[in-house]
Amino acid sequence: MIEHTLAIIKPDAMAAGHAKDIISHIKKHGFTIVEQETMHLSKRDAQAFYAEHKDRGFFGELVEFMISGPVTVMVLEKENAIADWRKLMGATNPAEAEEGTIRKLFGASKGENATHGSDSAAAAEREINFFFAEPEEQSCCSH
């Protein structure tokens, strides 16, 4: 089944100049990039996007990291996009990620792990709409 998922190239990978390599990796693995935008998240947007983690100890650090520099946000499309993107990203901790995965290749640590991806169909829908819904429906990022 053709699916859509959200992918984010995080500030660490952007600052290190890895965005083009990550996008190339995405395309090489059969994904179509349906929408793409580079932006700098506001603190409010980052807090809203990661609201499900607000009661966890790492929330403040995550928000500060995500606003530390630009990100590239993409909607990816392919059959089984959600599972395939998560597999291509690799484990959250790059040290535990499989060889050839994006986080193994470009991630520096569990906190600075190069990419984000939706973990379910419900999350993908919510996250895509957060960034790419029609302006009157949009939660984030005035264009």
Provide the pLDDT for residue 1. Answer: 87
Distance CA 2, CA 8 (A): 20
Provide the pLDDT for residue 140. Answer: 72
Residues 15-26, buried b or exposed e (16+ Cβ, 10 A)? eeebbeebbebb
Closest CA to 76 of 129, 31, 122, 123: 31
Structural domains present in the chain: 2-41+70-132 (3.30.70.141)
The rounded average pLDDT for each run of 10 residues, N- to C-terminus, in the chain (143 residues) is 96 98 98 97 96 92 96 98 98 95 96 95 96 72 56
Q: Which of 18, 29, 116, 143 is catalytic?
A: 116
- Angstrom distances, CA of residue 89 to CA of 23, 33, 45, 105, 135: 12, 15, 23, 9, 29
Provide the pLDDT for residue 133. Answer: 81
How many C-beta neighbours within 10 Å does residue 54 have? 12
| Residue 116 is among the residues annotated as catalytic for this protein | yes
Predicted TM-score of the model (pTM) = 0.93
